[in-house]
Structure formats: C-alpha cells, structure tokens
Structure 1
Amino acid sequence: MEKPFSPACERNREPIREIIATHFADHLHVLEIGSGTGQHAVHFAAALPQLTWQCSDRPQNLPGIQMWLDDAALPNTPPPLALDVCGTWPQLQVDAVFSANTLHIMGWPEVEQLFARLPAVLAPGARVLIYGPFRIGGQHTSDSNALFDARLRAEAPHMGIRDLEAVDALAKAAGLRHLADLPMPANNRCQLWQAI
C-alpha cells in the first residue's frame, strides 16, 4: 500500500495549527474525528507535544494513517481507532475534539449523529474545533465555495457545504456553546464550541 497524501492537508496545516495552539492551550487529550491520511495528526502532534493526539476514522483508512504515525514515531500519537459516527464509538473521554473537512462529506444524518454522540466522549469544559467551509445565513461565503458545493452535490446528493446555523443548533442540543467563528485561508473557517 502506498502512503496516502493530501495536498490540501499540506496547505492548511499551519494555519490550523496556530488555531489549535491558541484554543487547545490548556487541553491535553484530543480526539480527531476523520483523520483521513494522518498528515494533520503528525504535524500537530509534533508541534504541540503536550497534546496526546488520538486519530480515528473508518476502518479502511486506518492503515494509511498508521503509516504516517509509524514514520513520525511520535510518543503522543497512539494507534488510530476505528470510528464510524453512526456506529459504535470507542470508550474514551477527551478534553478536545478536532475534525477537518468532514461535515460536507458526511450525509446530514451522519452530521446529526456526530454531534449527538459527542457528549459521551467529552470531559467537562472540553472544546470542539471543526474546520471546513460553511454557509452563513444561508449564503455561501465565496463564489468558489458555491462552485465546490455544486460539485459535491453533483457527485453525491448527500454531500454539501453545511449551514453554520443548522450545525450550531446540533451543537447546542449536545450541550455545546459556540465560542468563535474564525475565518481561515481559502474561504474555510474554524468553528469553536465548548462543553457547558
């Protein structure tokens, strides 16, 4: 198997690291949901050694993630966990959750399940950081995002850029308070919530 590689991860990793360094400064255990290739994990775990960075993804993606973890050989990246948001979640408790470019790939029922299941793994005061494109007030924030959304929906009708207000309603129902909407490069955003 070839080691997976995402050019997008290489482009966005440093701006995201800056956000994580600021907003997870007092946190120790991060669960990454949808680790993809594993590139983000090794970059963030190397730069922020105080964080234990727990990767997770669907079983078919775990071998590629493990290749990145093995090559980096960092002490703060345990083996990746199998996690399908609609399936059985691992038994763990963390004080931070991170996910990048997942909500627009999942179907809306999966997004609902993601937020509904979060309270089971979040410690009191835990923070949740979601990176990706969002619509705000029902509108795309750029022409490029509108085109990207159209491409996603043409590829698979269940995919699409999510409305921040709808996602925040799920977060509120899960006991999370929205702390910040942080603009990022390439018309993406980081949404930050905290467990009440």
Structure 2
Amino acid sequence: MNSMDSLEREGADRRLSSPSARRNREPILAVLRSALPQTGRVLEIASGSGEHAVHFARHLAPLCWQPSDPSETALASIAAWREAEALGNLAAPVCLDVTEQWPVLPDLVAIVCINLLHISPWDASEALFAEAGRRLPAGGVLVVYGPFRRHGKHTAPSNAAFDADLRSRDSRWGVRDLEAVEALAGDNGLRCEATHELPANNLCIVWRR
C-alpha cells in the first residue's frame, strides 16, 4: 500500500484514494522520466489504490504499466481505476506477493516499488532484490521510493517517529538502513545509479542491473 495513511473511497465505487499518492506522484514521476527506458513493461510492486499506476501510465506512454498487489481490496481498486481511466498502456493488475512465486511477465524492463520496504518484513526486501536481479534484463532498472536511515541515523525527527510507530504495529517493520539495502542490491547484481532526495524526507533510488 502507499504509506500508512488511510485510504479514502471515491464515491460509491471500488476506487480507493491515497492522500500520500496524490502528494508524491509528481516528484516520483520526474525521477521515472529520467530513469526508465522508452519502451517495454514496468512492473509496479504493491500498487495499493492504483492511483500511481494510472498517473504513471498516463504520462509514460508507450511504456506498458503493470500494477500488482497481494490485497484483494487493492486489486479491485486498481481494476476500477483502470476501467474508469481507459488507458491503453495500463495492464490489468496481477496478484503478487513479493515473497511468493512471481508471474512470468513478457518484455519486463523495469520494476518500481513505492513505500513497501518499511511496511513489510525484511524477507520482502530480500525477495524484491533477488527477483529484480533474476528477472530484469541487462540494463534493466529497479526504482525504490520511501524513507531510509543513513549511516544508522534517521534523516528527520518525523522519520524517527514514523519508525517507532511502524515497529509498534509490527516488530518486523521499520525504516530500513540505506547501507543494508545497498548491500542487498549489490549481492543481486544491481548497482546504484542515482539517489534522489524527495519531499517529506523520502528517497527515490535507482538501481540498474
């Protein structure tokens, strides 16, 4: 899902709306414009409400945007947004839990993961980078967005408070150390190409295989 904020329902249909998705979609889009290839399929992990998928598909054609999520509620919301927007390059959502078997996706050139690493156990991060290293072609891109600690310290008091809240909800969750994630990427054949500092003390990091 997108951050920890509550999802709002759009009218009486199945579409959900995430305030954080509305806030961060433009800064993330700016990074994607410079990082992603021009054509191929982009797999979005944990698409949540589906608003990112709609926004990015609209602005990044002819790339094919492939949303995914393990939640039935999220999948229904993504499908409803897709039906309402009728974008030719937005694929039907697929059910995907990063720690389980991934579907075979043709023409995969990039993976985008927004606000997942801190709201999941560490084995989800391990699975994400392992699959990215295994499935992306040479030159393929993994883009990850979210809060991180740097050199063992939080980058802002708000991130420290957020981290404490996450760990109170689930001891396996929490803001990750950037250095640990970078090591995980390197172990799976991915090199860091760029680290972008985005609003609200988040990073958007581009790794290339």
Asked whether the equivalents of residues 27 and 96 of structure 1 are also in contact (C-alpha less than 8 Å), the reply is: no
For 2:193 and 2:55, the matched residues in 1 are separated by 25
Q: Which residue of 2 aligns with 1:116?
A: 130
Q: TM-score, normalised by structure 2?
A: 0.90
Asked whether the equivalents of residues 107 and 159 of structure 1 are also in contact (C-alpha less than 8 Å), the reply is: yes
Deviation of 1:103 after TM superposition, in Å, equals: 0.3
Q: Which residue of 2 aligns with 1:9?
A: 21
Moved more, 133-142 or 86-95: 86-95
Within the alignment, does 1:173 sit opposite 2:179 as a pair?
no
> Relative to 1, partners in 2 of residues 1:120 and 1:194: Cα closer, same or farther, differing over 3 Å?
same
Deviation of 1:121 after TM superposition, in Å, equals: 2.1
Q: TM-score, normalised by structure 1?
A: 0.95
Listed as ranges, the gaps of 5+ residues in structure 2 are 1-12
Deviations 1:117-136 (A, max 9, x none): 22332111101110110111
The 4+ residue runs of structure 1 with deviation greater than 2 A are: 25-28
Q: Which residue of 1 aligns with 2:8?
A: none
Listed as ranges, the gaps of 5+ residues in structure 1 are none
Q: Which residue of 1 aligns with 2:68?
A: 56
Corresponding residue to 2:86 among 57, 73, 92: 73
Q: Which residue of 2 aligns with 1:84?
A: 97
Within the alignment, does 1:44 sit opposite 2:56 as a pair?
yes
For 2:194 and 2:94, the matched residues in 1 are separated by 28
For 1:148 and 1:25, the matched residues in 2 are separated by 34
For 1:121 and 1:36, the matched residues in 2 are separated by 22
Q: Which residue of 2 aligns with 1:189?
A: 203
C-alpha root-mean-square deviation of aligned residues, in Å?
A: 1.2
Q: Which residue of 1 aligns with 2:119?
A: 105
For 2:127 and 2:35, the matched residues in 1 are separated by 25
Deviation of 1:59 after TM superposition, in Å, equals: 4.3
Corresponding residue to 1:30 among 42, 62, 66: 42
Asked whether the equivalents of residues 195 and 205 of structure 2 are also in contact (C-alpha less than 8 Å), the reply is: yes
